[in-house]
Amino acid sequence: MSTLAEKNPKSISRNKLLGVAGLGWLFDAMDVGILAFVIAALHEDWGLTSSQMGWIGSVNSIGMAVGAFVFGIYADRVGRKKIFIITLLLFSIASGISAFTTTLAAFMILRFFVGMGLGGELPVASTLVSESVPAKERGRVIVLLESFWAAGWLVAAVISYFIIPSFGWRVALLLTALPAFYALYLRINLPDSPQFSAKKDVLRSISTNIKDVWSKKYRRSTLMLWIVWFTVVFSYYGMFLWLPSVMVLKGFTLIKSFQYVLVMTLAQLPGYFSAAWLIERAGRKFVLVTYLIGTAISALAFGNADTITLLIVSGAFLSFFNLGAWGALYAYSPEQYPTVIRGTGTGMAAAFGRIGGVLGPLLVGTLLTAGTGLNVIFGIFCASILIGAMAVAFLGKETKQLELE
């Protein structure tokens, strides 16, 4: 098997690219994961209402929507690597400063900028890696890249379990900011996508790229991506940002809830690895549809669980299927477009999805305030995910081992 380095002396090996990009992905996930635990801690520290807790997650997603849209577009103008570094720097600085806030307003403003960095980096990272590996292993490598997200959540859960109860949430947030600068150091020598480098002299206006994403040739793919991104992000942030808080609402102590969420989070890794194994064998559509249906069933079971055993088992399956689906989605999205609009198309789909990330946490906060049961709330997420699965099944095309345009 030839490596990237053999094809291009300025490029790096597949494994090094995966490690460098994956390390940044891990730090991103660690920040999002820490936020879920910090929200639960702020509830006790600042006496936040359910509605205010929901707004913290939503502001983060508003920033991610803006970041995915703006930085996705500019990735097609200035390159994947430059945007990669800019977004990482933005998120790490804002995350570190947020540890020193004393008001909810200041915390939420900084979470917006953290969200911008996160939202911009993730679709650009998957685009860069997908353009840098051979078609026969592209899907598997992207899912493995996404698996670093599970590692980041695990680190977040460990930090939250050992640090927040003893040292407070501010120390936890400071820890999430520090390693991001190491990833920035690694990325300075990271080569840009070979496909972008070959096309960078083709200057196209931003408006032309946006129009082309919705042109007749790509309209069906774009519609499918926007639906699935919205439903997946809506349900993910609605469920997972609230997970530690939901455990507290079910009567567990803060420390106990962190412990149970850590156990559930462990199931993310086999979810990713199984999806990585299947995606080049059964195809993108099969993995996405199957894992989304598994997520929907698990969400319904989690919302109706009435014992600790059922709660942990259904939560583990929720993590397994949902994160496996995420891996497949990040592999599938860049494959829908040619190089000149790949960053724009992927970024716009992710940006639209982040609107769901705004609404999901807000919905949970609003419904909990109104006294709505968790079974109803998780039933809504179940229905949302099934809509996403149907969009892929009926509108999606199979892109397994397809050479990128």
What's the CA gap between 151 and 158, in Å, rounded? 11
- Summarize the confidence of residues 110-132 as an average pLDDT: 87
pLDDT at residue 258 greater than cutoff 70 = yes
Cβ atoms of 39 and 162 within 8 Å: the answer is no
Residue type, 324: G
Q: Tokens for 222?
A: 């774009």
* CA angle in degrees (0–180, nearest 5) for 89-95-97: 105
The predicted pLDDT at position 2 comes to: 39
Which of the two residues, 32 and 199, has the higher pLDDT score?
32
| Helical residues (DSSP H) of 79-134, grouped into ranges | 80-97, 104-130
- Summarize the confidence of residues 201-209 as an average pLDDT: 75
Cβ atoms of 130 and 327 within 8 Å: the answer is no
Cβ atoms of 245 and 53 within 8 Å: the answer is yes
Q: Which helix (H) or strand (E) holds 178?
A: helix 169-187
The predicted pLDDT at position 187 comes to: 67
What integer best gives the mean pLDDT of the chain? Answer: 85
Domain residue limits, the chain: 13-193+213-395
Among 172-181, 272-281, 354-363, the minimum mean pLDDT is found in 172-181
Cβ atoms of 266 and 316 within 8 Å: the answer is yes
**Torsion 314-316-321-325 (CA) sign:** positive
- Summarize the confidence of residues 96-108 as an average pLDDT: 92
| Helical residues (DSSP H) of 266-338, grouped into ranges | 268-279, 284-304, 308-332
What's the CA gap between 330 and 395, in Å, rounded? 17
Which of the two residues, 11 and 48, has the higher pLDDT score?
48
The predicted pLDDT at position 198 comes to: 64
| CB neighbour list of residue 372: distance below 8 Å, 6 or more residues apart | none
What's the CA gap between 76 and 196, in Å, rounded? 8
The predicted pLDDT at position 197 comes to: 66
The predicted pLDDT at position 34 comes to: 86
CA Rg value for the chain? 20
What's the CA gap between 359 and 1, in Å, rounded? 45
What's the CA gap between 21 and 148, in Å, rounded? 9
pLDDT at residue 259 greater than cutoff 70 = yes
| CB neighbour list of residue 19: distance below 8 Å, 6 or more residues apart | none
Among 7-16, 98-107, 118-127, the minimum mean pLDDT is found in 7-16
- Summarize the confidence of residues 242-255 as an average pLDDT: 75
Which CATH number applies to 13-193+213-395? 1.20.1250.20
Cβ atoms of 95 and 145 within 8 Å: the answer is no
Q: Which of 396, 147, 377, 111 is nearest to 265 (CA)?
A: 147
Q: How confident is the model at residue 27 (pLDDT cuts 50, 70, 90)?
A: confident
Distances (CA, A) of 405 to 9, 45, 83, 178, 337: 23, 52, 22, 38, 7
> Which pLDDT tens digit goes with each residue over 330-366?
889 989 999 889 889 998 999 999 899 888 888 888 8
> Which pLDDT tens digit goes with each residue over 49-71?
878 887 887 888 889 889 989 99
| CB neighbour list of residue 230: distance below 8 Å, 6 or more residues apart | 352, 353, 355, 356, 388
pLDDT at residue 1 greater than cutoff 60 = no
Q: How confident is the model at residue 150 (pLDDT cuts 50, 70, 90)?
A: confident
